[in-house]
Structure 1
C-alpha cells in the first residue's frame, strides 16, 4: 500500500473550496484560500509523519527496551536458584533469572571497576574469562595478573587471545614459547619513586634498619642514573653491595645495617623469576602503550615470598604508569593509550595499602579494574579499613557462593533492602482466622541463605546508579570449544595461524640450544609447551 502524498490529502479541501467558489461566485476568495489550504495541508501531513516516525520508536523504547534496561528492584527468591537456563550469546555475560533476559557485558559500567567474590570452585575464574574475552573483542589492551600461575589459566588466556586475533605476551617462570617476555617493573620513575616502589613491597619490623635499607636503595638507584646505567633488580643489588663492601674504607653504608634489603633482593634475583627480570624487560608503561595483551603468572604457592613481593612491585609500577599519564595528560604521545582492562585474580595475595589510591584515581586515566577474592575476610586480614574502601569504591559486584554466615550476612546487608509487605494472621485455639494485618517492612534483596546456596556458575550481580540486583547464570567459556573454534577460524583464514608457529618454535628449541637474549645465556629444551 502506497503512502498518501501531500496532494492526495489536500485535494479534497481544494475541491470543496472550488465547489463553494462556483456556487457562490466568490472567485477572489477561492483563489486567495487555495495557497493557504496547500500550506495548511503540508503542515498537517508533516506533523502526522513526524508523530508516526518518532512516536512508534519512542513507544518501543519506552515499553520494550527501557523495561529491560531499568528493571524493577526485585527480591531474589529461593525458587530462582533452581533455574539452569543459560545463554550462548557471544556478547552476553550470562542469563538473568531475575529479569528473564540476557545480560550483555556492555551493560556493565566497567570504568567503575568490578569486584568478584566467591568460594573456590564456584565461578570466579569463569567470570574473569568472560570479562577478559569481552575486552579482547573490543580491542582493549589487557593485563591479567594471576597469583595462581597455573598452566590451565595460561592456556585459556592464550587461546582467548588467538580466538580474537590479538597479540599476546607471557611472563611466567615456566613459559618460553611464543610471546614470552621479560619484565622490569623498576626501570621507570625517579630514584625516589623506584625506591618507594621496592621498599613498600617488603615487610619491615625495625624502623631503624628499614630506614637504612631505604637509604641504600635510593643511593644505589641514584648512582645508576648518574652513570647512565640500566636499572634492574640485579644492577641495584650489585651497587648496594659495592657501596657497603666490608673491606672498603670508603663504603657509604655499614653492611650489617642493610643486610635486610640485600637478602630480600637476592631472593628475587636468585629465584626462578630472576632471569626474566632483565634490564631490557618491559615496564607497565611500555605494556600499556603497546596495546598488547599480557599475562603475568606469579604462583604464590610455589614462591610464597618472592612472588608476593614481585606482585606488589608490579602494582607499584602500575601506579606509576597512572601517575605518569596524569602528569602528561595533554601530551599527544599519551593520547594513544587506550582504556586498559586490568584483571587480578586472588587480589589479597599481592595487595598493598596503597591499592585504594590507584583504584580511586585510575578511572580518568582509562584503567578498568576487575579483581577477585574469596571472601571479605581476605581483605580484612590486611586491613578492615582497606576492605571497606575497596567495596565502597567498586560499583559492580559479582557475588558467587559464600559458605560462612559472617561473609554471607555482611555482603547481603551491603547489597541492601527493598520495601516489602509482611502479613500476620490471627490464630485462636491453633486455628488460623481470617482476620490479620499487613505492614510495610524492609526486606533483604539477597538473603544470606541465598548467597550460601548458590550453585557453581550462579552469582548475584549488583550494579550501582541506579541500583540493580539480579541472579545470573554465568556463561561458561569451554576451553575445548574455544580450541575447536580457533582451528575452524584458522583453517578458513579468519584469524592468523599462530598455533603452527608455537609448534615450530618449540620443536627448534628441543633440537638445538638457542641463545636467550632476555636471560643472557644459553637455554636448551623449553620447559613450557601449550598443550593441544
Structure 2
C-alpha cells in the first residue's frame, strides 16, 4: 500500500479529520452538507492516488514490451494548428507538434525497416488533408510509396497538385530544369555542390574556384542574352570553343559580356589560322564539372531535365502549396542518384533564400514539409546552412537517416549542426550500441531512487564457566534493512532504444520526452497506380531557347 506522504495526502487527511471533528456534539450548528463535502474530499483524496497507481501501466523493467513514462503533452492541435506524431504508450494521449515548433525541424533516426517511412506517410497525409505543401525525397525506388502518395492526393481532390520526379521512368515523370531559377551566383553554387569539398586540398580548391568563376561568367552571359538553356546546352558550352565564341557574339555589350571576354582571353592563343581558344587549357579548368553536367544531359536524365519550359519549379511548389515526390534510384544508379539529390537540395536552398525576401503574408500558410528520407545517402556540407535559415521561410525540414555516423562522415561539425537545429528528435530502434548511446544522451538523465536491501544474521554458542554446573547458552540474531539511494540514470537507456518494437519511438520535443506508438495508414490492397497530371507551361515572352543541342555537330567539330 502506498504510504501517506506529501502535500496531497496531508490536505486529504486534514479535510477528513475536520469533518469528523465537526460531527462531535459540541458543533451541532455546523451545516451537515458542508461536513459531508469535507469528508468526501478527504476520502477521495486519500483513495484516488492508490487507485491511480493501481491503474498505472508503466513498466520499465521488462526487456521487451516495456512502457516508459512520458512527460505531459500539450493541448491537441492536429490539423490547422499542427501535426500529430503519435500517442503516448503510458496514457494514450496524442502528441501534436504545433506549427511553430514544426518549423524548427524534426529529425527521424533509426535502422531500416522499423517504421520511418510509415511515419513519414502519416505526416504527409495530415499535410495533404489540410492543404499544405510538401517535398519528399525518397532514396529508394518504391512504387508502393509513390502509389500511396497519389492515393492521398486523389482522396483529398488534389491530384493536380502532385508532381513526380522519377529519372528511372521519364514517361511517368514531370520535367524540371533547376538551371533557370536564380542569379548567376546561385546557379553556379548549385552546380558546384556536385563536386566534393576541397577545403583541405589547396590544389583541388584552386580548380574548384576556377570552375565556379567560369560557371558564374557563362551563366551571367546567358541570362544577359535572354536565353533559356538546359544541361545539354551548358555541357556543350563547357566542351566547345566555338560554342563559347558564339555565346560571346550573341551577348549584348554589357558588363556580363566584358567579364566573359576577359575570362576567355586567358585561354586565347595565336595560331597560323589566327587567334583561337585553347580547348586543352579550358578542359583543365572545366573538365571535371563538364562531366558532371553532362550526366544530367544524357539518357533518361536528359529526357527529364533538358527542357526550356519545366513543369516543376521548386519555388512555385513551395509558395503554391504543391506536392513533389522525388525518387532517387540509389541502388541502380548510385552516382547519378547522389548528384540528383544534391541538385534538389541545392535548388531548395536557393528557393528558401528567395522566399526569405518575400513579405510574411506571401509565405506558406502552413509550414512546407521538406522530408529528406535517407539523407545520409546524398548528404553534403551545404545542407547545414539550410537548417539554420529554412524556418524564416516557412519551410520545415524533416531529415530521416539510419545513424548519426552518416552525418559525421561529412564532418563532426556538420552532424552537430543538424542535431542542434532540429527541435524534435524521433528515435526508432537502433541496431548498434554506439548509435543507441548517442541517441540516449540526447534525452539526458534524471534522478531516480535505487533500492537496496541488506540482510544480516548471527549465531553464537557459549558455556558459562563460572558456575559449578556445566550449563551452556545459545543465541541467534538477524536483521533486514531497506535503503533508497538517489542517483542519475538515462531517461531512456541505450538498451531500451535497441529494444524498441516496430512503430515505437522515443521522442524529444524541446526538453520534453515521450514514449510513443506511431500511427500507420492502412491503404487499400487495390490502390491504383500513380498517374501523373501533365501541366502545360509556356515559354516566357521575353526569352528564347538557346538550342545549342541542335547545332551539336557544328560545335563539336570545332572543339
Give the TM-score, by structure 1 length: 0.70
Structure 2 CA distance for partners of 1:346 and 1:244, relative to 1, 3 Å: farther
Per-residue CA deviation, residues 480-499 of structure 1 (Å, 9 max, x unaligned), is 2694xxxxxxxxxxxxxxx6
Residues 6-405 of structure 1: pairs in structure 2 closer than 5 A: 78=62, 81=65, 93-104=85-96, 109-166=101-158, 167-175=161-169, 180-203=173-196, 206-243=204-241, 249-251=275-277, 254-257=281-284, 258-277=286-305, 278-281=307-310, 282-329=312-359, 334-335=362-363, 339-405=367-433
Structure 2 CA distance for partners of 1:321 and 1:432, relative to 1, 3 Å: farther
From 391, 404, 416, the equivalent of 2:444 is 416
SS state at 2:228 partner? coil
Per-residue CA deviation, residues 314-352 of structure 1 (Å, 9 max, x unaligned), is 11111111111222336x7x3567531111100112222
Alignment match, 1:468: 512
Structure 2 CA distance for partners of 1:482 and 1:439, relative to 1, 3 Å: farther
> Contact between 1:140 and 1:339, CA under 8 Å: does it hold in 2?
yes
Alignment match, 1:527: none
Gaps (5+ residues) in structure 1?
A: 1-71, 84-88, 484-498, 506-519, 522-532
> Contact between 1:113 and 1:368, CA under 8 Å: does it hold in 2?
yes
SS state at 1:260 partner? helix
Provide the C-alpha distance between the structure 2 equivalents of 1:174 and 1:319, rounded to a whole number of angstroms: 25
Deviation at 1:92, TM superposition (A): 5.3
Deviation at 1:168, TM superposition (A): 0.7
Gaps (5+ residues) in structure 2?
A: 1-55, 68-77, 199-203, 244-266, 459-476, 535-548, 551-559
Per-residue CA deviation, residues 377-429 of structure 1 (Å, 9 max, x unaligned), is 11111211111111121111111110111111111012111121112232447
Provide the C-alpha distance between the structure 2 equivalents of 1:373 and 1:481, rounded to a whole number of angstroms: 28
Which segment is superposed worse, 89-98 or 157-166? 89-98
Deviation at 1:451, TM superposition (A): 0.6
Which segment is superposed worse, 310-319 or 426-435? 426-435
Q: How many residue pairs align between the two structures?
A: 412
Provide the C-alpha distance between the structure 2 equivalents of 1:362 and 1:92, rounded to a whole number of angstroms: 21
> Contact between 1:169 and 1:293, CA under 8 Å: does it hold in 2?
yes
> Contact between 2:64 and 2:499, CA under 8 Å: does it hold in 1?
no
Structure 2 CA distance for partners of 1:379 and 1:165, relative to 1, 3 Å: same
SS state at 1:149 partner? coil
Alignment match, 2:435: 407
Structure 2 CA distance for partners of 1:392 and 1:105, relative to 1, 3 Å: closer
Alignment match, 1:478: 522
> Contact between 1:150 and 1:299, CA under 8 Å: does it hold in 2?
no
Per-residue CA deviation, residues 421-447 of structure 1 (Å, 9 max, x unaligned), is 112232447999522432221121101
Give the TM-score, by structure 2 length: 0.67
